[in-house]
Amino acid sequence: MNQHDQFEKFSRMWRTQYCASGKTIYCRENCGGCCQLAVHATYPEAVAVAEALTESLSKRLSGYIERLKTALPELTDVKSYLKEHRQAIGPCPFLDSRGSCLIYAIRPLSCRALLSTRPAAWCTVDFAKLDNWDKQAYESGLDHQVVAWPTHYVAATRDFARTLEKTLLESMQREQGWSLSGNFAVMVWIEKNNRLGRRNNATIQQVRDILAASELNNPLLLNFTDGSQKMSDYP
């Protein structure tokens, strides 16, 4: 995907310059810390992954969707969604037990965008459980020049990824008259079962029906936009 190549070029350059100034990006192979978070993506990125699903990846995906459906009644706002994701739904279905991404070459922009300026333990910490002293220590240790406050992730890569995500969604709007973004695994699931990516002529009503039938058409999980609406800022 062209947007992924553009992002990799930008991210490599940014990281090289940052590290040349004596600072550290803590992302390492087999870390998987940020893969514990709820992952968002654009539909074209999900289509690429659905096309590459093997039987074992599909099985992992089904397990994730089952856990998500069970937790769905508890998802009442963003806070509860993030909490349930951490506690009941679990990590990205494409993360293996060694902390490796099983779809690394085609992972979405939102995964690529997270460059950590703090050690990996901070990517999995539950901030709701930290006392004030620890929160202050965390905050004062941040490189405020570069992070997307209040996180310890780099703002420049996050912002560039969002710009590219927007171009993907705008081109979907132009070509199909609708666009979709949201929970990455949910969209891979929808694409696997309906192959919307291969149907250039699906009507907006057909897409709406498919989303409704998925039982996952929750605004916390999916952001559908058709030509009659103004495209909201991603995500």
Residues in the site for ligand SF4, rule: CB under 6 A? 35, 39, 92, 94-95, 101, 103, 107, 111
Phi-psi sector, 26: left (phi>0), alpha (psi -120 to 50), beta: alpha
Contact 27, 135 (CB under 8 A): no
**Pairwise CA distance, residues 105 & 103, whole Å:** 6
What is the smallest separation between the CB atom of 20 and ligand SF4, expressed in angstroms? 25
What is the smallest separation between the CB atom of 67 and ligand SF4, expressed in angstroms? 15
Q: Is 77 in a helix, a strand, or coil?
A: coil
What is the smallest separation between the CB atom of 94 and ligand SF4, expressed in angstroms? 4
Closer of 94 and 178 to ligand SF4 (Cβ): 94
Distances (CA, A) of 147 to 45, 152, 179: 25, 6, 29
Closer of 39 and 164 to ligand SF4 (Cβ): 39
Q: Which residues fall within 8 angstroms of residue 173, CB to CB, at 6 or more apart? A: 179, 225, 227, 231
Closer of 27 and 204 to ligand SF4 (Cβ): 27
What is the smallest separation between the CB atom of 35 and ligand SF4, expressed in angstroms? 3
What is the smallest separation between the CB atom of 101 and ligand SF4, expressed in angstroms? 3
Closer of 53 and 207 to ligand SF4 (Cβ): 53
Closer of 32 and 207 to ligand SF4 (Cβ): 32
**Pairwise CA distance, residues 185 & 50, whole Å:** 9
Q: What is the chain's length?
A: 235
Q: Which residues fall within 8 angstroms of residue 49, CB to CB, at 6 or more apart? A: 94, 103, 106, 108, 184, 188, 191
**Pairwise CA distance, residues 142 & 153, whole Å:** 10
Closer of 120 and 231 to ligand SF4 (Cβ): 120
What is the smallest separation between the CB atom of 217 and ligand SF4, expressed in angstroms? 22
